Amino acid sequence: MSVLVGKKAPSFNTSAVIKGNQIVEDFSLEQYLGEKYVLFYFYPADFTFVCPTEILAFQERLPEFEERNVAVVGCSVDSAFSHWKWLQTELKDGGIKGVKYPLVADLSKTISENYDVLAGSYDYSETGESIFNGTPMAYRGLFLIDKEGVVRHQVVNDMPLGRSTDEALRMIDALQYYEENGEVCPVNWKKGDKALKPTQEGIADYLSK
């Protein structure tokens, strides 16, 4: 598994559904450069079980991300048409109607490959035919990208393991606190807690209280 932290986030240009009902053909994270942080996350597939719990949870807390100047963007290996259909389906029928942030289509699986969250790989059979070893879907990868397009945090869960919106917000708060104050955030730090200066004196002061 590649570690992308500290590196430029892989770029892409693909189709996506925005605002819950509009398919666009040239969606890219580069539109946010210099303007917003990005929380870019992958989920395995549309019309599944754990995935809607995450997608809807991020929508429910979208105002908290937006007040932190963070754009939330989801991605799976489904087509934009599949995303659109799921977004038009009522919650009681297994849909995610009401989700307004972009859902990116990675039908070619190249975005998942570039972020190294694809649960398998392409190979060739003994007869020279292209085959896929593994599951042709993405693990639950999440990447926090700063305004310069650099990945500052990543976490990758196996498919049965849902993520935490609380932890995603905590990491955003920690990054923004560090950027604004130059102090680093110790274990279990959350907004409002004491941070510490990155010096021997700073750690001694922190541990003494």
HEC states along the chain?
CCCCCCCECCCCCEEEEECCCEEEEEECHHHHCCCCEEEEEECCCCCCCHHHHHHHHHHHCHHHHHCCCEEEEEEECCCHHHHHHHHCCCHHHCCCCCCCCCEEECCCCHHHHHCCCEEEEEEECCCCCEEEEEEEEECEEEEEECCCCEEEEEEEECCCCCCCHHHHHHHHHHHHHHHHHCCECCCCCCCCCCCECCCHHHHHHHHCC
Q: What is the pLDDT of residues 176-200, one digit of tens each?
A: 999 999 999 999 999 999 999 888 8
Same domain, 109 and 185: no
More confident residue, 194 or 64: 64
CB atoms within 10 A of CB 181: 11
Output the pLDDT for position 2: 86
Check residue 43 and give its pLDDT: 98
pLDDT category at 88 given cuts 50, 70, 90 is very high
Across the range 57-83, mean pLDDT stands at 98
Pick from 161, 176, 199: which residue ends a domain?
Answer: 161
Give the residue numbers spanning the domain of 169.
164-209
For residue 84, is it within any domain? yes
Give the pLDDT band of residue 169 (cuts 50, 70, 90).
very high
Residue with tokens 């990208």: 145
**pLDDT averaged over the chain?**
95
- Reported as a single tens digit per residue, the pLDDT across 99-154 is 999 999 999 999 999 999 999 887 888 888 888 888 899 999 999 999 999 999 99
Burial 124-154 (b: 16+ CB within 10 A, else e): eeeeeeeeeeeebbbbbbbbbbbeebebbbb
81 with 103, same domain? yes
pLDDT at 1 exceeding the cut of 70: no
> What's residue 123's pLDDT?
82
Question: Mean pLDDT throughout 11-19?
Answer: 98
Which residues are the active-site residues? 51
Residues 129 and 180 in one domain: no
Number of domains present in the structure of the chain: 2
The answer to whether residue 46 sits within a structural domain is: yes
pLDDT of residue 131: 82
Q: How many Å apart are CA 167 and CA 191, to the nearest integer?
A: 12
CA–CA dist 9, 121 (Å, integer): 21
Give CA–CA dist 115/83, Å, rounded. 20
